[in-house]
Amino acid sequence: MSDSSDRNEDEAAAQVFTPDPVSLAHLELILNGAYPLTGFMTREEVASVAKDGRMPDGGAWPVPVTLPVPDELADAERLTLTDPEGAPLAELRVGQRWWSGAEGVEGQGDGDDAPGHRLAGEVRFAQPPVYGALRHLRDSPEQVRGQRELAGDGGVPVLAVVTDRPLHHRELHQIRAAAEELGGDDRAEVLVIIDAPLESAGMAPVVLAAEPLLPAPARFVVATLPRASAEGAATLSAERRELLRAHVAAAFGATRLLALDGSGPAVPAADDAPVAVVRAPEWAYDTAQAQWRPAGEVAPEAAAELPDEAEVEEMLALGRGLPAWFTPARVAAELARIRPPRTERGLTVFFTGLSGSGKSTIARGVAEGIRKSGRTLTLLDGDVVRRMLSAGLTFSRADRDLNVRRIGYVAAEIARHGGVAVCAPIAPYAATRAEVRAMVEEVGDFFLVHVATPLEVCEARDRKGLYAKARAGEIPEFTGISDPYEEPEDAELVLDTEGRTIGESVAEALDALRAGGWLPTESA
C-alpha cells in the first residue's frame, strides 16, 4: 500500500473532540507559543509539576496541562481538536493515556485532581483559531515581538502587567512608577496582557479604557490564562498563577512582570520565574493634599480607604457613580456601561422545587409583579417549555438535564439583551443548576429561588396525580420518590410555602428583588 493510502486511512481514523474550556485555553497557549510545550502532559510530567513545580528534566513550570476526555475516547490514537463551533484547531497524536483522580497526583494541591481519563501527546497546528471574543487582540507572542522589532523597539525594556481587573488610579500610578524605574533615563514599554475569558470580553473593555492614561508606548494583548489544570480540578494557588503569568509574559518579550495585587503572596523565587517579578509598591490617596502619593509619604489618618470589589459592584448595581479620586472617568464610564444598574441588567429568576411545591404559581405571580414594574419579561414555565422547546425529550436524567440546559440557554439570551426571564422547572440536580447559573452570569444576573415545600405537602396536593402514579411504579425516575432532589445550597432566596398563601410567597420574592436593586422600590 502506498504512503498516500496509509496517510488517508490514518486521517480517517482520527476522532473529533472539543476540549473543555480550560483545556481549550491551554491548547491555544500551546499553539501560539505562549507555553514552552509541544502538547498535553504525561502522567509523569503532571506528577512532577504538581509536586515540585518542575518538569522531569528540571525546567521550572507551574501548572499541569492536561486533556480530559470522556470514556468513549479513552482508547483514541488520534484526535482532531476543535473549537466549540467545530472548526479544527490541532491534531493530537496520543502518546499516553492515563486516569487522574483515583491515585497518583490526587490531592497534591496544584495537581490535576479532577477524576477522569487523560490523553497526552504532541499537538500539530491545523488552522488559526477564529472562535472567541476579541480575536483581533489575541496576537501570538511571535507577532507581538515582531511588531516591536518593526517599530524599532527591540532593545527597549518591557514592563508586563497581567490583569483581569480594571486599572484604577492606584494601579495606574503603580504602573507609571514601575515603568519609570525600569526605563531609568530612557523609556520602557508597557505591555498589558488582559486575562479575559475565551468566550466573552470580560473586563477587557474596562482595561482598554485606561490606555491613554498609561505611559507611552503601551501595547495591549488578550489571552486566556487557565485557573486550573483541567475543568473541575483545584484552582491554582496564587503563587503558581503568578508564575504562569511570568512564563506567558516572558514569551511575549517582557523583561519584568509587575504584580499589582499588593495583598498577594511573596513574589516567586528568581530561579522559578523566567523574568523578574516585582510586587508593585503601595500607593494611597492623600485626602489632606487631594492627590495620590506613595503610601509611605501619606499620614495614616489622611489615607483614603479604597472600596473593595464588592463595594464597587454594589455602587454600580445601585446606579451610584464611582468616586473620581478612586478611578478615572473613562474607566468609570466603561464599568457603568458593562455593569449597568440592576434595574437595567438582564436577569434570570430561576425557581426550583419539587413537583407540586407551588413554584409555577409563585413564578407566575412574580412575573406579573416584574411586568408591572416596567421591565421586559419572559416566563419560561417548566410544563410549557416541555411542550414547546423540549418536545420529544423523556424524563431520563440525561433528558431532564438537557431540558434545564435549554431553559438556561434561552434565559441567558434574554438576559443578554437586558430582559428578565422567570423560569420554573423542577431542576433537581445541583450540577445542572450550576451550569445554568454560569451560563447566565456571563451576560447578566442570576437569582435562584428554592421553593422548599416539604415532600409530604407536595404529595398531599398531587393536583396532577403524579405522585400516586410514581408510588405505583407507573412513572420511573420521579423526583422525590425514585430519583433524588438535590436541595440548593446557593439559593438567593428560600421560600417555605407550608402554611402560607401564594400571595405571601410572591410578595416575599418581589421584596427580595426590590431589595437587591433589580426592581424599582416604588413598584407594587
> What span, in angstroms and rounded, lies between the C-alpha atoms of 2 and 104?
43
Residue 354 assigned to a binding site:
yes
Give the closest residue to 440 by CA, choosing from 451, 427, 452, 453: 427
> What span, in angstroms and rounded, lies between the C-alpha atoms of 478 and 428?
10
> What span, in angstroms and rounded, lies between the C-alpha atoms of 464 and 407?
23
Backbone dihedral region for residue 457 (phi beyond 0: left; psi -120 to 50: alpha; all else: beta) = alpha
Residue 523 assigned to a binding site:
no
Neighbours of 80 (CB within 10 A): 17
> What span, in angstroms and rounded, lies between the C-alpha atoms of 236 and 225?
11
Burial class (CB in 10 A: 0-12, 13-18, 19+), 278: middle
Residue 356 assigned to a binding site:
yes
Neighbours of 506 (CB within 10 A): 20
Residue 358 assigned to a binding site:
yes
Give the closest residue to 466 by CA, choosing from 351, 357, 365: 357
Backbone dihedral region for residue 213 (phi beyond 0: left; psi -120 to 50: alpha; all else: beta) = alpha
Percent helix, strand, coil in the chain, to 5, is 35, 20, 45
DSSP 432-468: HHHHHHHHHHTTSEEEEEEE---HHHHHHH-TTSHHH
Burial class (CB in 10 A: 0-12, 13-18, 19+), 388: exposed
Would you give the DSSP letter of residue 319? T
Neighbours of 387 (CB within 10 A): 9
For residues 250 and 193, the answer to whether their CB atoms sit within 8 Å is: no
**Alpha helices (runs of H) in 252-376, residue ranges in sequence order:** 309-317, 329-338, 359-372
Q: Please, what is the Cα angle at 235 between 268 and 193, to 5 degrees?
A: 60
Residue 360 assigned to a binding site:
yes
Q: Please, what is the Cα angle at 29 between 12 and 99, to 5 degrees?
A: 60
3-state secondary structure of 510: helix
Rg (CA), the chain: 27
Residue 51 assigned to a binding site:
no
Cα dihedral angle (78, 81, 87, 89), rounded to 10 degrees? Answer: -100
Residue 229 assigned to a binding site:
no
Neighbours of 352 (CB within 10 A): 28
**C-alpha cell recorded at residue 468:** 400516586
Run of H or E residues at 150: helix 141-150
Binding site residue list for ATP: 353-360
Binding site residue list: 353-360
